[in-house]
Amino acid sequence: MKRLFVITMLTSMIPFVLADHHKDAKSKERKMNNPNHLMNFAECKEIKEGIGGILSMSDGIWKEIEKNPEDEKRWGEVIALSDLASNYSTVYDVWCKDMIKKRMKSRDKAKKKMKKEKNHEKPDN
């Protein structure tokens, strides 16, 4: 009875063991054609730089507001820029943050692997 249970258990686990994602050119193509894939790494980097630019522009306007707090036009500009930066930050957070985190994790893993291989090299005599 125990043998039958063990055999049944092992055979029922085989599909789960074999059902992993094989990385190849087709999987990358599938990922790029996925309807949930919106931006690539370069576009995310561009958005990040754009957010920085918008924030630096609003910083300049804040300095002008400090000189003349009565200027309603400048208040409108800084509110619009802050709202724009907030919206772009949300887009970056939703679409780019995880992708960049995974990319950095894989780079760190590759660096550790190279460092490990370098430490295990035998010196030539």
DSSP 97-108: HHHHHHHHHHHH
**Is-contact 51 89, C-beta < 8 A?**
yes
72-101 pLDDT, tens per residue? Answer: 999 999 999 999 999 999 988 888 887 777
84 burial class (0-12, 13-18, 19+ CB within 10 angstroms)?
Answer: middle
81 burial class (0-12, 13-18, 19+ CB within 10 angstroms)?
Answer: buried
Could you say which residues of the chain have pLDDT below 70? 5, 10, 13-37, 121-125
